[in-house]
Structure 1
Amino acid sequence: MKISLIAIGKTDKSELNTLIDQYRNRLKHYVNFELLVIPDIKNVKNLSRAQQKQQEGQLILGQLKSGDRVILLDEKGKQLDSVGFSQFLQKQMNSGIKRLVFVIGGPYGYSEDVYQAAHSKLSLSAMTFSHQMVRLFFTEQLYRAFTILKNEPYHHR
């Protein structure tokens, strides 16, 4: 199974990119993982929030393939602890899907079309984080989940 993380906009903090890359490299031992960054939409000042969500939504949907299992990282999604997330991943891997896709939306969330394409929603926290930080937190949690599944000492129970 391949795991993809789709995110809107680039990360402009080199420190965050360095940390994200460290976890991406660690993940190579467990899973085929890719981070797909959709460039920021141009001229957003001339767009309403709804128009911006719609345009971002079309770009997100353009990255999806038939047969993908799509999980939105959304504040209204189900919250799991790290062990629960690892169990969720195990179920996805056991289901035989080819690609599990997690999506980080833009600053105003997702268009209705993206919500319709999604299979479920997960929340990383009840708190709100910047989109740039979510990439790091998610990538670290993905790595942590695989170490839990392999019973490796990274996660302390």
Structure 2
Amino acid sequence: MRITLLCIGKTDDAHFAAAIEKFRLRLKHYITFNMVVIPDVKHTKHLSVDEQKAREAALLLKQFAPGDQVVLLDERGKEYRSVEFADYLNKLLITSVQHVVFVVGGPYGFDDAVYRRANGRISLSRMTFSHQMVRLFFVEQLYRAFSILRGEPYHHE
């Protein structure tokens, strides 16, 4: 199985970028992991929220292949404890899903077209975090999940 984290907009903070890279390198011992960053939509000052979300949707939808399992990181998604998230990933592995794409949307969330394409939604918390933080939290939880599945000592419960 391959996992991709698809994001709108780059990570500006060097500290976040370094921490994300640390976990990206750790993940390569478990799985093929890729992070794809789509540039922010340009000239948004004169766009409505719906127009901006529609433009982002067009960029996101181009990234998905027909067989991809698309999971949105969304505040209205299902919340998991770390062990439950590991079980979720294990089920995807067992069912022979070839490619899972986790998606971090733009500042206003996702357009309805992206919700329709998605196979599921996960919430990292009921709180709102910056998109840079979400990326870091997600890659850390992904690493934690695989260490749980391998019975390694990173996670303590």
Tell me if both proteins adopt one fold, taking TM over 0.5 as the criterion.
Answer: yes
Residue 100 (structure 1) aligns with: 100
Calculate the TM-score normalised by the size of structure 1: 0.99
Structure 1 unaligned blocks of 5 or more: none
The residue correspondences of 1:134-149 to structure 2 (distance < 5 A) are 134-149=134-149
Residue 116 (structure 1) aligns with: 116
| C-alpha distance in 1 between matches for 2:44 and 2:78 | 30
- Tell me by how many angstroms 1:98 deviates: 1.0
Residue 30 (structure 1) aligns with: 30
Identity %: 54
Calculate the TM-score normalised by the size of structure 2: 0.99
One-letter amino acid of the structure 1 residue matched with residue 117 of structure 2: A
| C-alpha distance in 1 between matches for 2:129 and 2:64 | 25
Q: Give every structure 1 segment of 4 or more consecutive aligned residues whose post-TM-superposition deviation is greater than 6 Å.
A: none
One-letter amino acid of the structure 2 residue matched with residue 24 of structure 1: R
Matched pairs, number: 157
| C-alpha distance in 2 between matches for 1:107 and 1:134 | 12
| C-alpha distance in 2 between matches for 1:56 and 1:95 | 30
2:72 match: secondary structure: strand
Per-residue CA shift, 1:72-101, capped at 9, x if unaligned?
A: 000000000000000000001111111001
RMSD (Å) for aligned C-alpha atoms:
0.4
